[in-house]
Chain A
């Protein structure tokens, strides 16, 4: 309970009477001070009674009309307040939203019920600019005593969770050489039951759960029915390596490389969840691994991975310097160039030759590549991986090649999903011939990777653009 300045003034009056009684050696003023003290305590007790009455009878709800929206979508919260007390207290209820939400000012999010008002409703609209799962905290209730001397602030009601989905690109093409693959990626035949025997987590019982899954000890301990989840035992586990470096920001809003990469990764989460496959995640930013999730087959684990994927944003880094990153020369190419310059005695040859002769440079730069580092890390941390799924772009081909090679070196199956950069460029279809040449070049790179043992490579991108490119090319031939 907070006292207002007005109470401070009244207590000061009491203090003056106390001082007067001591200075004047007169007990009469002390009795007066006792009167002011009694006034203060009586007012506080009355405020307490008012607040208790309001809290006991206040009925409020702040329910988002929609529990799932897309990024930049609106969430309308209907704030409804009704009081059943008969006190003079004023009740102010303020709807609250997650920090990332954009909404009206506090005054516009507040409904006020004075002594004469019994109920009020308000509709508040928030814009959700960031993807993820967000909790709308319970509304804040401010109580002000009828005489305005005391106030209190508390939370009433329950919090609500809203899921903000990233903008989902339409017509996601996943295929090879311009042809779509027929099966949904991540699907495979299940060879076991839906639940294992390794206990993993306890969660509240929900209608539909089999009664035999109720954990009676936990139920007795926690007071409500709880069921125990079991970790699925399977040796087919999948680890997603999702690239969200700055280069993945290419493309129009809602249709960036990362948006398409995310769709692929979310597809794997869905497939893994439906088959109860253990699924892990390594998210790769410009500075290295940003998120690391060890393979798990629990509902909470899938939910966490899905939330992480939805919230991935391109990291700051290499968006604007593709040439520097693309220029990493493989040792074999460097040796071939070195051989050409071996017999030349020009100043250029003398300057360049030491760089071409130094194989350490290539190794060091590959070692420092975030994608390569992520693959190396997962190989050292995750035992028994069966599928490694790498989702990245084709911008730094030599680095991608080395990362895929490393992934396939441990006898694991490797699936690579590449977003061809040319399909995300603004003027991709401006010069059809040049674009087609670049697509052929990409396809050659894809096939080269696809020829590596245990490696399967797919292209991922906007289907409409790819179709437009291929049909424009066919029209010219």
Chain B
């Protein structure tokens, strides 16, 4: 199948959620890490003009790792709160007729749930690689579960399917 065209290689202006996200990122980065933080926030705005929301979000995470040497929980939470609208912007921009609010809420809920899972896993295991493994496994199992449910729901898989 052919995927729908996506503006990942050409200039694409962020939507309202993206604008909010970028403003928050520049603000939070400047608040906690001063001018270097503000500059990296502006660089992220430039990245967002050319890259997809997921890539922009990931680059923001990399910038955050570089800026925050030993961040507090509040700093991390606020920075993630600022970066999350960049993902939501992707949902809004992809939608033509969809109820994007509901989808944004699903995304936000999933993000909160997985972030909580990561926090818990780090606390319990005290090993990042184990927490990373748990995250990867949970995403894989959940993804596969949705896939299987979809096949049953659409009648592709039945009791007779070998």
Give A residues with C-beta under 8 Å from B. Answer: 1-2, 4-6, 10, 13-14, 16-18, 20-22, 24-42, 44-48, 51-52, 55, 86-88, 90, 115-116, 142, 144, 146-149, 151-152, 154
Contacts and interface: CB of A to CB of B under 8 A. Distances in A.
Interface stretch (B25-33, B35-43, B60-68): B60-68
Given A1-B147, A41-B143, A88-B95, A30 B132 contact: yes
B146 A1 contact: yes
A40 B138 CA distance: 12
A142 B1 CA distance: 9
B128 interface: yes
Nearest to B51: A13
A2 B151 CA distance: 11
Contacts of A147: 4, 94
B155 A154 contact: yes
A27 B128 contact: yes
A35 B131 contact: no
B16 interface: no
Contacts of A87: 97-98
A51 B154 contact: yes
**Interface centre among B107, B132, B135, by most A CB within 10 Å?**
B132
B80 A46 contact: no
A5 B71 CA distance: 35
A18 B136 contact: yes
Contacts of A26: 65, 128
A34 B6 contact: no
A191 B142 CA distance: 71
- Number of contact residues on B: which range applies? 35 or more
A20 B52 CA distance: 20
A45 B91 CA distance: 12
B83 interface: yes
Interface in B1-57: 1, 3-6, 52, 54-55, 57
14 contacts: A16-B58, A21-B132, A25-B128, A27-B128, A28-B61, A31-B119, A32-B62, A34-B115, A35-B80, A41-B142, A48-B149, A88-B94, A147-B4, A148-B3
Contacts of B136: 18, 37
Contacts, number: 181
Contact of A18 (B110, B135, B153): B135
Q: Which 7 A-B pairs have the closest CB atoms?
A: A32-B61, A148-B4, A38-B110, A34-B114, A148-B3, A37-B139, A38-B111
The A interface is mostly helix, strand or loop, or mixed, namely helix
A400 B140 CA distance: 72
Given A22-B132, A51-B150, A151-B1, A36 B115 contact: no
A31 B54 contact: no
Contacts of B117: 34
B142 A48 contact: no
A17 B113 contact: no
Contact of A22 (B55, B118, B129): B129
Contacts of A32: 57-58, 60-62, 64, 80, 83
A39 B87 contact: yes
Contacts of B122: 27, 30
B78 interface: no
Nearest to B4: A148
Given A21-B65, A22-B129, A38-B114, 19 more contacts: A5-B3, A10-B52, A13-B55, A13-B58, A18-B136, A22-B132, A26-B65, A27-B118, A27-B122, A34-B117, A35-B80, A37-B110, A39-B57, A39-B90, A39-B110, A41-B143, A46-B106, A88-B98, A154-B155
Nearest to B94: A147
Given A48-B150, A51-B150, A88 B97 contact: yes
B96 A40 contact: no
A38 B54 CA distance: 11
Contacts of B91: 42
